Amino acid sequence: MQRNIAIVIHPGFQLLDTSGPTAVFEIAGRFRPGSYELRLISPGGGEVESSSGLRLSATPLDDGRFDTVIVSGGEIIRSMAAARDVASWLRTVKARRIASVCSGAYLLAEAGLLDGRRATTHWASTEDFGRRYPKITLNADRIFVRDGDVWTSAGISAGIDLALALVEDDLGPEVARRTAQQLVVHHRRPGGQSQFSALVELGGRTGRFAELIEWMQVHLAEPLTVDRLADRAAMSPRNFARAFLAETGTTPAKAVERLRLEAARTAVEATRAPLDRIAEAAGFGDPGRMRRAFLRGLGQPPQALRRVARA
């Protein structure tokens, strides 16, 4: 069965939001010929300039029937008229499923498609997005979120993870795995995997806590209470907790768990170390507690991720 995929672009679209998913569907089609037909569409059609200045040619938005519609993100404010056209079109389009990459979630939200649903977008936009669209449950630290027939993904490269998940949904895990191998990317990261690592590298939105977070990563096996972290940051516990939340979008306790989870995930996937040793080194204390953290944060137990990594 051939599935027609429409990728929506607009003035200022992010090129990788478009090219990443396109490459996924193209390569999946090599393993299962005839599975996908791809179209680029935009308000008015013709050549559309991306945020980088490169242009792609698209056909106009139409009232045809699609299997899947994927809305690219980018500089949506470059043409508010085009953004309104896309949102209006989304309200009436006939498609089995609709998805967005990065700030493309704003266009789905404007169309009302995310009201009462769970969604995600780029971590840098979460405060603004949550303020603008209070009817949406924002899972701010997820790489992608599926809520029924509507899918949303985080920033830029997460569009590849989203597209691989769509391929797996269509053609099964083996085709998705082979597609990921051909792209030389990790076999589909679970949607529950966090965007938090990007924020960690920056130390928060301004980098204010970069040194502290580096210290935390080295001392994961030790108790990392708010009082201890505040002392390290030379702040009162109350002011520290408030400032940390404002900078990173998460509490110190949740940040510690994310750091421990990422360290443990890396060890689970890249080594053969026993799970109890990994749990102790990452600061979880015991495998049971680590397993619960994996299920909360990644949606899978450590053993499942280890099997996937060795497949």
* β-strand pairing of 118-119 with 94-100: unpaired
pLDDT digits (tens, 9 = 90+) for 157-171: 889 999 999 999 999
Together in a domain, 305 and 179:
no
Residue 188 covered by a domain: no
Together in a domain, 168 and 208:
no
Together in a domain, 298 and 219:
yes
Residue 272 covered by a domain: yes
45/40 Cα distance (integer angstroms)? 9
Together in a domain, 174 and 205:
no
Tell me what pLDDT residue 124 has: 78
Residue 79 covered by a domain: yes
49 vs 205 pLDDT, higher one: 49
Q: Kindly report the number of other CB atoms within 10 A of residue 300's CB atom.
A: 18
Together in a domain, 221 and 252:
yes
Mean model confidence pLDDT for the chain: 90
pLDDT above 70: residue 190? no
3-class DSSP string for 105-152: HHHHHHCCCCCCCEECCCHHHHHHHHHHCCCCEECCCECEEEECCEEE
Residue 200: pLDDT band (50, 70, 90) is low
Region class of 299: left (phi > 0), else alpha (psi between -120 and 50), else beta:
left
Together in a domain, 57 and 169:
yes
Give the residue-averaged pLDDT of 183-192: 62
pLDDT above 90: residue 88? yes
Give the residue-averaged pLDDT of 86-113: 97
Residue 112 covered by a domain: yes
Residue 190 covered by a domain: no
CATH code at 300? 1.10.10.60
104 vs 300 pLDDT, higher one: 104
Together in a domain, 241 and 286:
yes
Together in a domain, 29 and 157:
yes
Together in a domain, 148 and 276:
no
pLDDT above 50: residue 192? no
What's the domain range around 88? 3-183
Tell me what pLDDT residue 311 has: 59
Number of structural domains, the chain?
2
CATH code at 125? 3.40.50.880
Among 183, 211, 226, the domain-final residue is: 183
pLDDT digits (tens, 9 = 90+) for 13-54: 999 999 999 999 999 999 999 999 999 999 999 999 999 999
149: closest CA among 87, 98, 91, 90? 98
pLDDT above 90: residue 295? no
Among 183, 207, 236, the domain-final residue is: 183
The percent of residues above 90 in pLDDT, for the chain, comes to 67
pLDDT digits (tens, 9 = 90+) for 245-281: 888 878 899 889 988 988 898 889 888 899 999 999 9
Residue 240 covered by a domain: yes
Together in a domain, 38 and 17:
yes
Residue 189 covered by a domain: no
Residue 305 covered by a domain: yes
Among 162, 183, 204, the domain-final residue is: 183
Together in a domain, 71 and 178:
yes
Tell me what pLDDT residue 247 has: 84
How much is the pTM?
A: 0.70
Together in a domain, 16 and 165:
yes
Tell me what pLDDT residue 310 has: 64
